[in-house]
Amino acid sequence: MPPIAYLECSRCQARISSQSPQTVCSQCTDQPAGSLYVRYDLSHLEGTSPKDVIGEVLARGGSNWTGMWRYRAVLPDVRPVTLGEGWTPMLHSKRHPAVFVKEEGANPTGTFKARGLALAVTMARHYGLQRLAIPSAGNAAGALAAYAAAAGIEAHIFMPRDVPIANYLEAVAYGAKVTLVNGLISDCARIVAERKQEEHWFDVSTLKEPFRIEGKKTMGYELVEQLGWEYPDAVFYPTGGGVGLIGMWKAFEELEELGWVKPGKRPRMIAVQSSGCAPVVRAFEAGANACQMWQNASTFAAGLRVPKPYGDSMMLDILRTSKGIALSVSDEEILASILDWARNEGILLSPEGASVTAAYDKLLASRDLTPSERVVLFNTGAGLKYADVIAEAMHLQRPVLELQSAD
């Protein structure tokens, strides 16, 4: 297990100590301040075989070191708060021989958010933090509530009032202090920013806390390991806040530094958004380095309702460096893809996950991609967490039963 060497600013490259809890870079002269990357001295692992390193973790580890903690050799050296997150299935499509679905719905709380928040709460407990606050489009709230409960830490949650009912239910059930806001995640973020000092909250907002990226980077390690320590040709990622995209790219850098994969053949990173809220797509197409706030964001893919992601510049840089692309699909296309994959593959995708399956179909049709290119499509959450919003999109109502009398 590596001790953390320092935290590094993604904008000004300042090095900051991890001895006390940090949010964003305190040295940046330009605003917004850069997000911080966790850096380790990994030199003792160079030239090792990943199978040996992970095998040793699993052999020695006991129940705490399963799931994403199989990568503890490249994670902070602290005792984890774990609910069994990570090491999710890589499902092979029945219709597309070169397509794999990374099924993040298998995580605790049913989404990929478990990875980042497991690590953020692990570090919060390590630092002795007592009160965490988060603005969320829904799924991060549920995950924070669960891990905070497991760690005995207070969670203060702010999310839009029209989040899927599962997100509200789980946050309340886990004992979090929940405020429903008449607005979007950007409005929730403003409330947390205004009140955090007075309330003594530590802000674990997307990319304003360094360890959520570290948790999400395990998706990059996992997909490479599950494909036999080789990169796919492309990774499709539904992009709201974009931490997973940034985390996976960091994983690829580390994997190459360690010699665990051959450098030079990284996948194209494909960011997918809903046409009802597509700030990254608009910035990508305009050649811009940052997003403009998207007005009147609206989509039933709740996790994609992020009108201006904090990590916009980092994502745009990764998309261009990887020769990737950003594209949007409509809510109608998302719903059609949910039903297509449910009926033909037996997988009930989340709306966010179905945005990438719809985008895959589009890129095949436009010949931006060939059917033989090996791709990983991220289903970031279980479709069942969206029971109410998918039912509404399908105009599905429970039939009224006609009761028959006994005689």
The residue within the footprint of Zn ion, chosen from 1, 12, 290, 384 (CB under 5 A), is 12
Judged by beta carbon, residue 6 or residue 229, the one nearer Zn ion is 6
Q: With b meaning 16 or more CB within 10 Å and e meaning fewer, what string describes 222-233?
A: bbbbbeeeebbb
Judged by beta carbon, residue 21 or residue 84, the one nearer Zn ion is 21
Shortest separation between residue 193's beta carbon and Zn ion, angstroms: 18
Shortest separation between residue 29's beta carbon and Zn ion, angstroms: 8
Q: Are 145 and 113 in contact (CB under 8 A)?
A: no
| Binding of Zn ion by 16 (CB under 5 A) | no
Shortest separation between residue 256's beta carbon and Zn ion, angstroms: 24
Judged by beta carbon, residue 34 or residue 247, the one nearer Zn ion is 34
Q: With b meaning 16 or more CB within 10 Å and e meaning fewer, what string describes 3-25?
A: ebebbbbbbeebebebeebbbbb
Judged by beta carbon, residue 33 or residue 74, the one nearer Zn ion is 33
| Binding of Zn ion by 7 (CB under 5 A) | no
| Binding of Zn ion by 25 (CB under 5 A) | yes
N-to-C CA span, the chain: 73
| Binding of Zn ion by 9 (CB under 5 A) | yes
SS3 call for 72: helix
Q: Is the dihedral of CA 384, 389, 395, 401 positive or negative?
A: positive
Among 309, 104, 86, smallest CA distance to 205 is for 309
Judged by beta carbon, residue 14 or residue 181, the one nearer Zn ion is 14
CA distances from 321 to 15, 27, 86, 372 (A): 24, 26, 27, 23
Identify which range of 23-31, 61-69, 88-96, 253-261 contacts Zn ion by CB under 5 A. Answer: 23-31
Tokens of 382: 């279980």
Judged by beta carbon, residue 26 or residue 49, the one nearer Zn ion is 26
Judged by beta carbon, residue 7 or residue 348, the one nearer Zn ion is 7
Identify which range of 7-15, 69-77, 101-109, 348-356 contacts Zn ion by CB under 5 A. Answer: 7-15
Determine the Cα–Cα distance for residues 170 and 277; give it in Å rounded to an integer.
26
| Binding of Zn ion by 28 (CB under 5 A) | yes
Identify which range of 34-42, 91-99, 188-196, 252-260 contacts Zn ion by CB under 5 A. Answer: 34-42
Strands across the sheet containing 4-9: 15-16, 4-9, 36-40
What does 264-323 look like in DSSP terms, one character per residue? T-PPEEEEEEETTB-HHHHHHHHT-SSPPPPTT---S-GGG--SS-TTHHHHHHHHHHTT
Burial label, 47 (beta-carbon count in 10 A; 0-12, 13-18, 19+): exposed
Identify which range of 12-20, 199-207, 316-324, 399-407 contacts Zn ion by CB under 5 A. Answer: 12-20
Judged by beta carbon, residue 29 or residue 296, the one nearer Zn ion is 29
Identify which range of 6-14, 53-61, 252-260, 341-349 contacts Zn ion by CB under 5 A. Answer: 6-14
Q: Are 204 and 24 in contact (CB under 8 A)?
A: no
Identify which range of 31-39, 306-314, 354-362, 374-382 contacts Zn ion by CB under 5 A. Answer: 31-39
Judged by beta carbon, residue 11 or residue 266, the one nearer Zn ion is 11
Residue showing tokens 């990764």: 318
Identify which range of 5-13, 105-113, 127-135, 164-172 contacts Zn ion by CB under 5 A. Answer: 5-13
Binding residue count for Zn ion, defined by CB under 5 A: 8
Shortest separation between residue 316's beta carbon and Zn ion, angstroms: 18
Footprint on this chain of Zn ion (rule: CB under 5 A): 9, 11-12, 14, 25, 27-28, 34
